[in-house]
Amino acid sequence: MPRIEKLTAASARALDTGMGAIPNAPKLTLSDVESAGSRAALDRLNAAIGELKSLAAEPLVRRAAAAVNAGDPQEGARWAIKALEKDESSGVAWYVLAFARERAGDFASSLQCFEKALQLLPDHAQIANDLGRLAMRLGMREQAEKLYLHFIRDNPDNPEGYNNLVSVLREQGRHDEAIEVLKATIAQYPSNAMLWNSLGTVMTELGDNDNAIIFYDEALRLQPDFPKARYNRAATRLGMGDAEGALADCDAALPGKIAEDDLMMMRLARATMLMELGRIAEGWDQYEVRLHHQYDDATTFLIDRPSWTPGADLAGKHLMIFAEQGLGDEVLFANVLADVIRDLGPEGKLSLAVERRLVPLFQRSFPTANIGHHVTVTFQGRTVRFAPHVENEIETVDLWAPMASLMRQYRRTLDAFPQRERYMQADPDRVTHWRGVLAEAGSGPKVGLLWKSAIKAQGRDRYFSPFDAWAPVLRTPGVTFVNLQYGDCAEELERARRDFGVEIWSPPAIDLKDDLDEVAALCCATDLVLGFSNATFNIGAACGAQGWLLGAKGAWPRLGADHYPWYPQVRLFINEPGADWTRLMATIAAELAGFVQSGGTGASRAG
């Protein structure tokens, strides 16, 4: 491989090793695809002004670009529109407007403006590159890939195009292809820090943290003031169990020149790092950045009422709460609802919007509350959520809050988490029913299994082991294993039967993904729920089911504790950073054998 002699010895060795697809890793990382707010993007914008052909539009476009450069996208858009009123065929004016609308967070309009600019300036390959970047932001990966390839075709000597192509390949899980593109490009441009950062992100996603750190170090050696590489190293360090080092890297990255949306993501990651370090109060306060309009994944809640703030007097008030994030999070954060109802008092009222499938469980658990489902839609690239069941009484709502925001008042320390057996209530009759069914399913303790998440978001897989690692656990004698895993798991059930000689019993007449009230009862009817943190585990644990939770270091909901604060009856099994799950699964198998010998009396705890 040419020119590798310019690299550090560690970087060269790591690059030359066989870096194939390694299962089960990632942590959210920042690719080095430029954003509308980056200096390189703004430099391109300024350069494009020189290509103006309409004298009437030129001064207006220059004012628009100046406003965008000054951080005022609304003013930039206003001047760009004035330019288009003079000359609607000005591709550069459409280009400037596209940048302005993207920086303002109006991604749908920005996409249309970039498309118009490309139509008017078909030979301006850089527009294709910018359009691909925006398509990536909107989740249009196939379109982004085509646009990046278009840019590469016209700019074969520009490493940015290859780097952007790697980003979209990585987003599609095509890691081997991404590595090959990067190795070839780095051979030509070994001093390009952007490429080393991208190679680090691929390694982080594949779980090869040691090589990822080497590549981030190389990026920072070449460009010490590279905030994305420093942040990405922070995320990888967190996954390796070094939360202090992660926070130090994150703090060093934040003052750097970086686009606002990436900055918001860094700040949110920093909040979870604080919580992982046990600095819970600080963490919850900074967790509010998830609601910032410049954070890409922020949810907009459609409710025109005053916002709740910590310390607000709730007595006798009508409080509207929106559950947020994923199903498991809606259940996890419900840990706080009993405290809220207490503070509202007998004259107060709680209205709550949750995911539709959770309504029966929440209504039974909090019978005095007005429970309904939220409706969540995507509008102009943004997530919007509203609650139809309170529309007719919206004027009576005194305050509203996203559910996780309540943690800022009610769960600022570990001691604030109550030691109660459960805070949600499965249907007692259905628990009795499932206990009867399970009694006929086999002998010995009934152990519910959860081994994967249906969410395939970047950064999630490293918290889950490969199915093969379960072999010693599944071969534990005297256990009837119960399938609690939602989604398509026919392949794993067959592999357990064929390779391990174990029949994992599947409950009849229940949809484990949609019948969540039945899932709650089934979990409570088992003697033990064993597996990783997903929606089902949280539902069962919130309802009091005994649980053994498997995980990796760096999972912030542990809040730096040696136990799981949300569910006192849950026991933690944490895999060591870089370990392949073999040792932990052997430990669990031994503990499960002891559980069988003790009679496995967990079912009496719930229901």
Which tens digit of pLDDT belongs to each residue from 90-115?
888 888 888 788 777 777 788 788 88
For the segment 557-583, the average pLDDT, to the nearest whole number, is 90
pLDDT in tens, 157-190: 989 889 989 989 988 889 999 999 999 999 999 9
Q: Which fold has domain 428-605?
A: Rossmann fold (3.40.50)
What share of the chain has pLDDT > 70, as a percent?
A: 87
pLDDT at 578 over 50: yes
User: For residues 306 and 397, what is the distance between their CA atoms, to the nearest angstrom?
Assistant: 9
* Predicted model pTM: 0.80
15: left (phi over 0), alpha (psi -120 to 50) or beta: alpha
pLDDT at 25 over 80: no
**Residue 296, pLDDT score:** 79
**Residue 600, pLDDT score:** 75
pLDDT in tens, 454-491: 554 444 445 567 888 999 999 999 999 999 999 888 99
Per-residue pLDDT band for 45 (boundaries 50, 70, 90) equals low
pLDDT at 243 over 80: yes
pLDDT in tens, 2-20: 233 344 554 444 444 433 3
Between 82-96, 350-364, 459-473, 496-510, the lowest mean confidence (pLDDT) is in 459-473
**For all residues of the chain together, what is the average pLDDT?**
86
Each domain of the chain, given as residue ranges in start order, spans 299-412, 428-605
Question: Which residue, 310, 499, 489, is CA-closest to 410?
Answer: 310
pLDDT at 330 over 90: yes
User: For residues 97 and 48, what is the distance between their CA atoms, to the nearest angstrom?
Assistant: 13
**Residue 538, pLDDT score:** 96
**Residue 294, pLDDT score:** 83
Three-class SS of residue 533? coil
**Residue 176, pLDDT score:** 93
More confident: 60 or 106: 60
**Residue 223, pLDDT score:** 96
Residue 485, number of CB atoms within 10 A of its CB: 24
User: For residues 35 and 160, what is the distance between their CA atoms, to the nearest angstrom?
Assistant: 13
User: For residues 450 and 471, what is the distance between their CA atoms, to the nearest angstrom?
Assistant: 14
pLDDT at 277 over 70: yes
